[in-house]
Amino acid sequence: MHTTVSDGTDSPEAITKKVKAADLAVFSVTDHDALTAAEIIPPLLGEGDPRFVSGVEFSCREGDEKYHILGYGYDVKGESIRAVVRRGHEIRMNKVSRRIAMLGEQFGFSFPREEIDRLLSLDNPGKPHIGNLMVKYGYAGTKKEAISEYVDRLKVKSEHVAPREAIEGILGSGGIPVLAHPYYGSGDELILGEEMETRLKKLIGYGIRGVEAFYSGFTKKMSLGMVSLAERYGLLITAGSDYHGENKMVTLGDSGVLTEGEYPDGLKRFLGIVAE
């Protein structure tokens, strides 16, 4: 799940209230390049409330390959994960500034200086924030149009956090690195079959410990295929909704976990680690 710390629309406080109301047993917030929610939420919980697991999500690239690496159950004060957060945040801010400049250069879009300053003052601004700004000033009819027709067409050169860097940072702070929504690469790209297995084996070499086999955007067949792959390599299994509030049409708590039968062993092992 994501909060206003990154690209969600619910504050950490608001999302905690919603989780309590939804009667979830265990939850995590995985804001992009940020640990803020993991500092804010624990004091909001008391006896009998859902169990909170610290989380984070890093957008990584290696060559032409894109990976989203989740970190769960880390020490929020751990220096190794904080170092990755600092680097990811710096890269993100530079990319946002470049995108705004290129919207002016390529499409003639301009925004008041105070709006740009406000955008850059956010914890982790990204495409949704730029899209909302474009809609506000009449450059697009919807946020989706703004992103697909303009922002995604910008060829922004940027550094990236490497997957090994993210994985080692999470491990170094006692966390569990997990490959998020494994089938999805860049844009509409689907990673399947031999390519999926080749990528996964490489990440295992870097220290990845789990895969997100259950996801709100997966079909049952996709989830079962990923469970099978996880079992083959002895990986932990996680489940995530990718809830973003009003920024994404996903229901809170809709992690895609199959309702029939027992949880796979990898998911039970993961829950045993984070909920102990």
List the chain pLDDT tens, one digit each, 276 residues. 999 998 899 999 999 999 999 989 999 999 999 999 999 999 999 999 999 999 999 999 998 899 999 999 999 999 999 999 999 989 989 999 999 999 999 999 999 999 999 998 887 888 888 999 999 999 999 998 999 999 999 988 888 999 999 999 999 999 999 999 999 876 667 899 999 999 999 999 999 999 999 999 899 999 999 999 999 999 999 999 999 988 788 999 888 887 667 899 999 999 999 977
Provide the domain count of the chain: 2
In a domain, 2, yes or no: no
CATH number at residue 144: 1.10.150
State which of 153, 169, 204 marks the end of a domain. 153
Of the residues 153, 172, 199, which one is the last residue of a structural domain? 153
Amino acid 186: pLDDT: 67
Q: In 10 A of CB 62, how many CB atoms? A: 17
Rounded CA separation 32/95 (Å): 14
127 within a domain of the structure (yes/no): yes
| Residue 27 covered by a domain | yes
Q: Domain of 256: which CATH number?
A: 3.20.20.140
Q: Which domain holds residue 247?
A: 12-88+160-274
- The first and second tokens of residue 2, run together, are 């994501």
- Residue 260: the pLDDT is 67
Q: Is residue 71 part of a domain?
A: yes
Q: How far from chain centre, in Å, is Cα 32?
A: 5
Instruction: Report the side by side order of strands in the sheet with 236-240.
Output: 26-29, 51-62, 65-72, 176-179, 210-215, 236-240
Report yes or no on 182 lying in a domain. Answer: yes
The pTM of this model reads: 0.89
Q: Are residues 110 and 145 in the same domain?
A: yes
Q: Whose CA is closest to 226, among 237, 240, 241, 242?
A: 237
In the structure encoding, which two tokens stand for residue 139, read together?
A: 């450059």
Q: Are 187 and 120 contained in the same domain?
A: no
| Same domain (yes/no): 115, 143 | yes
Cα–Cα dist 30/219, whole Å: 22
95 and 84 part of one domain = no
Q: Please indicate, yes or no, whether residues 239 and 122 belong to a single structural domain of this protein.
A: no
Residue labelled with tokens 């067409």: 153
Please count the CA atoms within 13 angstroms of the CA of 77 that sit on its side-chain side: 0
User: Are residues 64 and 108 both part of a single domain?
Assistant: no
Task: Report pLDDT for 68.
Answer: 94
Regarding whether 39 and 123 lie in a shared domain, the answer is no
Separation of alpha carbons 238 and 251, rounded Å: 17
Sign of CA dihedral 191, 74, 267, 47: negative
178-207 CB burial, b ≥16 within 10 A, e <16: bbbbbbbbeeeeebeeeebeebbeebbebe
- Counted residue by residue, the chain has a size of 276
- 36 falls within a domain: yes
DSSP 184: B
Could you tell me if 143 and 265 lie in one domain? Answer: no
Cα 184 to chain centroid, rounded: 12
Last residue of a domain, which of 133, 153, 173? 153
Residue 123 sits in the same domain as residue 188: no
Tell whether 178 and 260 lie within a shared domain.
yes
Strands (E) across 169-209 are located at: 176-179
Is 143 found in the same domain as 177? Answer: no
DSSP string, 137-158: TTS-SSHHHHHHHTGGG-----
Q: Which two tokens stand for residue 7?
A: 């690209």
- Both structure tokens of 107: 């499409």
CA distances from 97 to 7, 92, 168, 242 (A): 16, 9, 28, 26
In-domain check, residue 143: yes
Do 80 and 214 have their domain in common? Answer: yes
Q: Is 1 inside a domain boundary?
A: no
Residue by residue, DSSP assigns 208-222 as --EEEEEETT--HHH
